[in-house]
Chains A and B, each alone.
Chain A
Amino acid sequence: MGCCRLMVANARHGSMNRSISKLKYEAVVEVLLKEGVSDPEGVAILDAVVSLGYGSVSKVASGKFFRLMLHAEDEHSAADVVTEIAERLLSNPVLEDFRVRDLVSTNS
């Protein structure tokens, strides 16, 4: 049953990029503001952290975290797809940097 469901999902993905994908992957995309870009959320959180008594903390940077689940032929093509999505949608290159991390195969 699980196998059939996987095949349907693969067929759908395959029609998009003409590849027959077999494996499931998960990846995390982390988006942070570039150095020097205004981060009022980070500043407000830093104020709260210091108010709690953690005077040793000098900076808090706020950002975004996205977990993507996808099918891909191999780890390399999974990383390529996730990187492309991060570049084209998840981040704005004028303001933000991104990092793809924790790319893992989730096939059991």
Chain B
Amino acid sequence: MDRAVAAARRAFPRWSASTREERLALLERILEEYQRRLPDLGDAITAEMGAPRGLAHGFQVQLGLGHLTTAIEVLRNFAFEEARGPSLIVKEPIGVCGLITPWNWPVNQVTVKVFPALATGCTVVLKPSQEAHFSAHVLAEIFDAAGVPAGGVQPGPGAGFRGGRGHRQPPRSGHGLHHRLRGGWRPGGHRRRPRREAGVPGIGGQERPHHPGRRKSCPNTWREASPG
């Protein structure tokens, strides 16, 4: 988790300074790739949490698509700046976002957070539910193929408490982690370091996962995020 956060921090200065057009272009590429992978997303949802085929390939994946096209629409006209008398009010990306998502509508829960985060210039450390993270693997492949900047999206799947606890590490320096605590947050208040970082593959940049053997538990192969 520390490595995921570090990668997301490294990517933040550049992505937070990206233009509206660059962000729109990225979201459009994600849209293209998302549409191509619809069948894989639907299958993953059925496998991970038991939604019937009709629902998984229907509303479950359509929700993600809807959040994506909505994010594109909103971003086109979003007012990042507002002049008020002698002042200019500017809206700036909050930083590296630690996103923890629940299992019930897995693609919806990830996409409704990740797309606005990317659209506003944030980078993300994503921790999908340990109960249902197959579709998050497919989403990570989609983000990768679309060219989300290295460190942009860092899924840490199936790490259970290790991943969850990792999110509670206080930021060491620089940007604070922006916690979006909803749904699958587990109480406990543990602050100790994760025992190991095996649950955080796909770390981005030039790095390699420390424990590629853990991929066996995943239905899809992780790929490195494109260098950004």
Partners in one complex: no
Which chain A residues have a beta carbon within 8 Å of chain B's beta carbons?
A: none
